[in-house]
């Protein structure tokens, strides 16, 4: 089974690909959307779950999501049709680094997707380029809740991406010219819900499809992920979602 299909299965019960529960997703969107006709752009939107919530809960809001992975787009478009909001949600299958638009966004989201630009600051630079004058950025990224072992650091900081502790992470963002107007640090319960859902959805699918040729692979992927979480990054890796406005 290819990685895209596996990922789609893993997110079956948790369409947001980040450790936030529904209440906190709604809260972050409420804080970020400052006008009834706001236009949203999500750089690395996954299946588009944040945007579907936004257009569903905020009449008049329009949204464009961009992702290099489109396996979840059809299901989200079908949900949008069913909910009567399809005309306000567009999903674009493209590399975000190549995405260009003449339309500035009132809200630019990058949640768990800063790595598409290398890391946090280049992601903020890209968001700034797409942002309307008085716009808001929703940035979600990992940080180290506790000092990681060298092995864990190597596992999560491959390539240009590196993480810091929470105060340093926020200080980097502030030094880049942003003022946080809201923030949410994912709770241990949100992390557990996310990881159990990810690993559990895969395991349940494998057990429900005993004769499928990919069953063993899916079961093994679930078990490996669960091990690396429980014996590795649980309680060490954190996730913060910041609502940011430009510092005057
Ligand atoms: C952890 S997921 C987060 C998805 C979504 N923001 C959410 O919170 O549900 C990261 C997403 O970034 C996307 N991504 C990574 N590199 C990308 C690139 N160069 N262009 C577009 N999307 C990219 C991945 O395909 C993936 O869907």
**Where do runs of H (alpha helix) occur along 33-112?**
49-57, 73-83
Ligand 1, pocket-test mutation among 29, 68, 119, 158, most atoms within 8 A of CB: 68
- Token pair recorded at residue 182: 């809201």
CATH of 15-187+237-246, one of 3.40.50.150, 3.40.50.300, 3.30.2390.10, 3.40.109.10: 3.40.50.150
Confidence band of 60 (pLDDT split at 50, 70, 90): very high
Task: Band the pLDDT of 52: cuts 50, 70, 90.
Answer: very high
Q: What is the pLDDT of residue 159?
A: 82
More confident of the two residues 240 and 161: 240
Whose C-alpha lies nearest to ligand 1, atom 1?
112
- Report CA(210)–ligand 1 centroid distance (Å): 31
Beta bridge partners of 39: 62
Domains of the chain by residue range: 15-187+237-246
Which pLDDT tens digit goes with each residue over 125-178? 999 999 999 999 999 999 999 999 999 999 999 788 899 999 999 999 999 999
Residue 3 confidence (pLDDT): 87
Ligand 1 is surrounded, with C-beta below 6 A, by: 16-18, 44-46, 49-50, 66-69, 95-97, 111-113, 116
How many Å lie between the centroid of ligand 1 and the Cα of residue 17? Answer: 9
Task: Tell me the C-alpha distance between 107 and 136, whole Å.
Answer: 5
Q: Is the dihedral of CA 164, 175, 115, 6 positive or negative?
A: positive
Cα separation, 167 vs 145, whole angstroms? 10
The predicted structure's pLDDT at residue 10 = 93
Report residue 56 as tokens.
Answer: 């569903």
Which residue from 37, 78, 73 is spatially nearest to 55, judged by alpha carbons? 37
**pLDDT tens for residues 169-218?**
999 999 999 999 999 999 999 999 999 999 999 999 999 999 999 999 99
């Amino acid at each position: 089974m290819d990685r895209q299909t596996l990922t789609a299965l893993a997110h079956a019960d948790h369409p947001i690909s980040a450790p936030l529960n529904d209440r906190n997703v709604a809260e972050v969107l409420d804080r970020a959307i400052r006008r009834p006709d706001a236009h949203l752009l999500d750089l690395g939107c996954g299946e588009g779950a944040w945007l579907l919530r936004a257009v569903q809960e905020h009449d008049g809001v329009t949204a464009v999501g961009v992702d290099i992975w489109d396996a979840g787009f059809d299901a989200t478009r079908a949900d949008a049709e069913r909910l009567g909001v399809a005309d306000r949600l567009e999903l674009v299958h493209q590399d975000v680094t190549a995405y260009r638009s003449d339309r500035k966004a009132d809200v630019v989201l990058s949640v768990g997707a800063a790595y598409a630009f290398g890391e946090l600051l280049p992601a903020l630079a890209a968001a700034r380029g797409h942002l309307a004058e008085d716009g808001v950025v929703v940035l979600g990224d990992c940080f180290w809740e506790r000092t990681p072992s060298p092995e864990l650091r190597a596992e999560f900081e491959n390539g240009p991406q590196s993480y810091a502790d929470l105060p340093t992470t926020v200080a980097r963002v502030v030094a880049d010219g942003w003022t946080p107007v809201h923030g949410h640090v994912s709770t241990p319960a949100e992390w557990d819900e996310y990881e159990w859902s990810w690993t559990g959805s895969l395991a349940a699918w494998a057990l429900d499809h005993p004769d499928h040729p990919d069953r063993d692979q899916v079961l093994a992927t679930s078990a490996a992920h669960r091990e690396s979480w429980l014996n590795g990054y649980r309680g060490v890796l954190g996730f913060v979602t910041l609502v940011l406005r430009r510092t005057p």
